[in-house]
């Protein structure tokens, strides 16, 4: 007999041989509701997307108002559309002139692609430096700068002239040279299992870029919008990148990405040739309306102020001998286990007990902790108790 799950397996392209056994009927706050009446704690936020929780009325209302006005009318970057203007203006006001021009894209990988093109055109150079274990997306260019050879197997040839260095290895920064257009780097390596930068490392990257005239592209796709504490992770350190790439929580649950930089840099897409970076759907009015509502909620509800308290609760309550390390920053954490088998056993047991977590792309013995920032103290304690029980 056909069920929604069997139809999913028949008609929807799955991305792994054994997709997780979860059917979502409704999502509200920190919970995913299943058709059989189960309430599952979302401990990953759709991987750092639902930072302001599910079903926020502010976002739903913004989407309804925008849908009533218009959906898509004109390709991105030409006509004046108020949702785009107002969202870009708000981002620019929060970040200042250095990031005062916003190019909206369709996804994180799309933003990475654009940032790489802009860096090459602006510097007139072709080499890109990236980090081992970094993840920057699944399209050809973004995969080329992803530091995980396993993910690339069978998909070559990819982009040439990419130099990989090890995150946190100061001596390897010498590989950023006068031939380098840009380094692309995450402030905290997400897919590698929430690896935080060593003291002074990101500042040293910045210094090296300045020495050789390379641009610093900071991928805050996973770390942005309060995930690690401040609005953007880099604001906790003493440096500023040249280009910021955003996605995930940017759209408040709608699909979009963005490149934020100064006018001088992004202007290269306007001429010689014109239309150097274009997209039919980038900056879709619905996505911009939702994104602005989510950003306003994050700030107005002071959700970022909750992060240190929730992080402290994690350390207090997420303790079990099976968790050999708990690493990360803010609400971007990795629970590290002895091996893949243990991590996967805990993942399955947690889902049975009503909590969703998943693994990381570049390590196999970790599970994600990245719940919505709207979680209450009691919900965080309860979530930790589920994981501890699942550890056995």
Ligand X SMILES: Cc1ncc(COP(=O)(O)O)c(C=O)c1O
Least distance in angstroms from the C-beta of 295 to ligand X: 17
Helix, strand, coil percentages for the chain (3-state, nearest 5): 40, 15, 45
Whole-number Å distance between alpha carbons of 146 and 164 = 9
User: Would you state the structure tokens that stand for residue 374, as one six-digit string?
Assistant: 């709207």
3-class secondary structure, 178: coil
Residue 273, preceding peptide bond in cis (omega within 30° of 0): yes
Name which of 222 and 228 has its Cβ closer to ligand X: 222
The answer to whether 242 contacts ligand X (rule: CB under 6 A) is: no
The answer to whether 107 contacts ligand X (rule: CB under 6 A) is: yes
Stretch that binds ligand X, among 63-71, 90-98, 106-114, 321-329 (CB under 6 A): 106-114
User: Would you state the structure tokens that stand for residue 304, as one six-digit string?
Assistant: 């970022």
Beta-carbon contacts of residue 108 (< 8 Å; ≥ 6 apart): 136, 137, 142, 219, 221, 245, 246, 247, 248, 257
Determine how many CB atoms are found less than 10 A away from the CB of residue 354. 17
Determine how many CB atoms are found less than 10 A away from the CB of residue 237. 16
Name which of 70 and 155 has its Cβ closer to ligand X: 155
Name which of 120 and 368 has its Cβ closer to ligand X: 368
Whole-number Å distance between alpha carbons of 109 and 105 = 9
Least distance in angstroms from the C-beta of 141 to ligand X: 11
Least distance in angstroms from the C-beta of 349 to ligand X: 25
Rule CB under 6 A: which of 45-104 touch ligand X?
47
Residue nearest to ligand X (CB): 108
Given the structure tokens 């102020």, which residue do they identify?
305
Q: Which is nearest to 51 in space by CA: 330, 318, 349, 345? A: 330
Stretch that binds ligand X, among 218-226, 290-298, 313-321, 380-388 (CB under 6 A): 218-226
The answer to whether 342 contacts ligand X (rule: CB under 6 A) is: no
Whole-number Å distance between alpha carbons of 44 and 48 = 6
Interface pick for ligand X out of 42, 219, 242, 379 (rule CB under 6 A): 219
Using DSSP bridges, classify how beta strands 257-261 and 180-185 pair: parallel, antiparallel or unpaired.
unpaired
The answer to whether 222 contacts ligand X (rule: CB under 6 A) is: yes
The answer to whether 221 contacts ligand X (rule: CB under 6 A) is: yes
The answer to whether 332 contacts ligand X (rule: CB under 6 A) is: no
How many residues in total does the chain contain?
Answer: 392
Residue 195, preceding peptide bond in cis (omega within 30° of 0): no
The answer to whether 136 contacts ligand X (rule: CB under 6 A) is: yes
Name which of 313 and 329 has its Cβ closer to ligand X: 329
Name which of 112 and 336 has its Cβ closer to ligand X: 112
Stretch (H or E) spanning 162:
strand 162-165
The answer to whether 259 contacts ligand X (rule: CB under 6 A) is: no
Whole-number Å distance between alpha carbons of 246 and 218 = 9
Rule CB under 6 A: which of 170-189 touch ligand X?
186
Using DSSP bridges, classify how beta strands 180-185 and 127-131 pair: parallel, antiparallel or unpaired.
parallel
Interface pick for ligand X out of 99, 104, 135, 167 (rule CB under 6 A): 135
Interface pick for ligand X out of 53, 83, 108, 229 (rule CB under 6 A): 108
Q: How many residues bind ligand X (CB under 6 A)?
A: 14
The answer to whether 190 contacts ligand X (rule: CB under 6 A) is: yes
Interface pick for ligand X out of 81, 115, 129, 247 (rule CB under 6 A): 247
Stretch that binds ligand X, among 54-62, 133-141, 298-306, 347-355 (CB under 6 A): 133-141
Name which of 360 and 391 has its Cβ closer to ligand X: 360
Stretch that binds ligand X, among 16-24, 215-223, 278-286, 319-327 (CB under 6 A): 215-223
Q: The sheet that has 325-329: what strands, in order across it?
A: 325-329, 332-336, 366-369
Which positions lie near ligand X, rule CB under 6 A? 47, 107-109, 112, 135-137, 186, 190, 219, 221-222, 247
């Amino acid at each position: 007999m056909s069920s929604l799950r069997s139809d999913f397996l028949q008609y929807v392209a799955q991305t792994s041989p054994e997709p997780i056994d979860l059917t979502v009927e409704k999502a509200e706050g920190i919970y995913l509701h299943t058709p059989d009446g189960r309430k599952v704690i979302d401990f990953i936020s759709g991987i750092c997307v639902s930072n302001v929780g599910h079903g926020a009325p502010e976002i739903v209302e913004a989407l309804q108002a925008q849908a009533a006005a218009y959906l898509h009318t004109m390709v991105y970057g030409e006509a004046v559309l108020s949702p785009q203007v107002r969202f870009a203006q708000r981002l620019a006001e929060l970040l200042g002139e250095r990031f005062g021009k916003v190019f909206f894209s369709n996804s994180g990988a799309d933003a990475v692609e654009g940032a790489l093109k802009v860096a090459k055109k602006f510097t007139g150079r072709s080499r890109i430096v990236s980090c081992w274990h970094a993840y920057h997306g699944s399209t050809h260019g973004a995969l080329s700068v992803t530091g995980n050879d396993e993910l690339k197997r069978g998909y070559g040839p990819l982009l040439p002239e990419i130099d990989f260095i090890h995150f946190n290895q100061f001596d390897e920064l010498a590989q950023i040279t006068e031939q380098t257009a840009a380094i692309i780097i995450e402030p905290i390596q997400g897919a590698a299992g929430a690896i935080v930068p060593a003291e002074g490392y990101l500042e040293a990257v910045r210094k090296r870029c300045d020495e050789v005239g390379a641009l610093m592209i900071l991928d805050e796709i996973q770390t942005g919008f309060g995930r690690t504490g401040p609005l953007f992770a880099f604001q906790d350190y003493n440096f500023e990148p040249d280009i910021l790439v955003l996605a995930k929580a940017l759209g408040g649950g709608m699909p979009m990405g963005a490149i934020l930089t100064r006018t001088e840099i992004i202007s290269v897409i306007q001429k010689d040739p014109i239309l150097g970076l274009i997209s039919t759907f980038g900056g879709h009015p619905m996505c911009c309306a939702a994104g602005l509502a989510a950003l306003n909620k994050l700030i107005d509800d002071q959700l970022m102020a909750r992060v240190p308290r929730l992080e402290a609760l994690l350390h207090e309550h997420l303790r079990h001998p099976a968790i050999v390390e708990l690493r990360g920053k803010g609400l971007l954490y990795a629970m590290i286990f002895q091996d893949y088998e243990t991590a996967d056993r805990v993942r399955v047991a947690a889902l049975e007990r009503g909590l969703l977590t998943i693994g990381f792309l570049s390590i196999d013995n970790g599970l994600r902790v990245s719940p919505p920032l709207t979680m209450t103290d009691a919900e965080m304690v309860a979530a930790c108790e589920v994981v501890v029980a699942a550890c056995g």
